[in-house]
Structure 1
Amino acid sequence: MNEPVLARLHQLMTLREQVETLGTGGPWIPAADWTDEDTHLVLHVDVPGVTADTLELLEDGPMVTVAGERSAPDRLMAGDRPSGAFRRSLTFPQDVLPQTGEAQLANGILTVRFQKRHPTIDVDAEHLDSASTVTP
């Protein structure tokens, strides 16, 4: 299958998992963002209250999976925050070099940097035009 079809299939599977867990107090799914840093893609995942020793990161082809667990507070009387195990699979928005992920957990945010297969190169067109001008 090609990558757009796999990405769409993954989105449908994630949506199905979310629908199945509505109202069941089941697994929670942390919010995530991708950012572009020219030579790297960076994944940011909100995991407040999750300790580094419960986190897992698995890279598999065009996807990366983050899993972990957040314990419920002791002596909880009432609460809205989800707890327990989570598992979130995301499709890379661009090709990355395999096994280049570098993770850091700080302030409840898991940040993972992946080296791009084809880095973004910013070119200043004005600078190029002036450099190609030949003076007699």
Structure 2
Amino acid sequence: MDDLVLKRLGSLMKLREDIEVLSGSGRWTPSSDWLETDSHVILVMDLPGIAPESLEIQEEDEILTVAGKREDLEIPGVVFHQERPGQEFVREFQMPRDTTPGTAQARLRNGVLIISFEKSSKVINAE
């Protein structure tokens, strides 16, 4: 195939992905907030219908990746109106503050993911 055909095919695939997202059948972007205390940075993310075992949380360098999949409810019937977003999601975040690696603690409570990271503290030498 020539480059023009590949480019057009790529454009069509992107358009299809955009339509799936808008129609609720593709990936979705859960809402999230960052909070800060004296000692921690905290990510709060709305994940209704997500089971803890379906979550993947990875911290690498200064990038946090949260991914998951909402299982199909398997309710018989034909969908004639759909507003709920798609079943899969992937979010990548640049860490907003320096944190201590390996200190993240995550919990899922009432459909809300809460991940807490210890802030890195700077050592001040006093003489």
Give TM-score scaled by structure 2 length.
0.72
Report the Cα distance in structure 2 between the residues aligned to 1:35 and 1:54, rounded to whole angstroms.
Answer: 24
Cα deviation for residue 84 of structure 1 reads: 1.9
Percent identity between the two aligned chains: 34
Matched with 1:79 is 82
Gaps of 5+ in 1: 1-18, 120-136
Matches within 5 A, 1:20-99: 21-24=17-20, 25-73=25-73, 74-75=75-76, 77=79, 78-99=81-102
Per the TM alignment, residue 20 of structure 1 is displaced from its structure 2 partner at its CA by: 7.8
* Structure 1 segments (4+ residues) deviating >3 Å: none
C-alpha spacing 1:65/1:20, structure 2 compared with 1 (3 Å): farther
Letter in 1 for 2:91: R
Alignment check: 8 A CA contact 1:94 1:116 kept: yes
1:115 aligns with 2:118: yes
**Which stretch of the first structure deviates more once superposed, 20-29 or 94-103?**
20-29
TM-score normalised by L of structure 1: 0.68
How far off its partner does 1:83 sit?
2.8
**Is residue 72–residue 83 contact of structure 1 (8 Å, CA) maintained in 2?**
no
C-alpha distance after superposition, 1:7-32 (max 9, x if no partner): xxxxxxxxxxxx98432232111111
Distance 1:33 1:118 in 2: 23
Residue equivalent to 2:3: none
Report the Cα distance in structure 2 between the residues aligned to 1:21 and 1:40, rounded to whole angstroms. 37
Moved more, 44-53 or 110-119: 110-119
